[in-house]
Amino acid sequence: MLLNTRVVLLSNPKDLSSQQIVYVNDVCFMGSKDSLLLLELKQKFITKWKCCNLGETKNFLGMCINCNYKDQKIFIDQSEYLNKVLV
């Protein structure tokens, strides 16, 4: 699925336990910690390109990301980015 000319969201309809967002040279892998597909994709990516696993995503493309594991919700806040752009 193409979100715009630069941001791409990738997912596998057979296994919704992982999602990938790609923007130029930034990639965010998301999914359940026990997803075999997620682990496989991350390993293939790290093997092919020079990169490292930075752990849980807190910020991505100017978005502050917070996860509530208990309620299974993700909160995305762009206020910091908007303050930079609008000021």
Q: What is the pLDDT of residues 30-41, one digit of tens each?
A: 777 777 877 888
- Calculate mean pLDDT across residues 26-52: 80
pTM of the complete model: 0.58
Residue 84 has pLDDT above 60, yes or no: yes
Angle made by CA atoms 38, 64, 14, in degrees to the nearest 5:
25
- Calculate mean pLDDT across residues 64-80: 87
| Domain limits, the chain | 1-54, 56-87
Res. 47 pLDDT band, cuts 50 70 90: confident
CA distances from 46 to 39, 41, 57, 69 (A): 11, 9, 16, 26
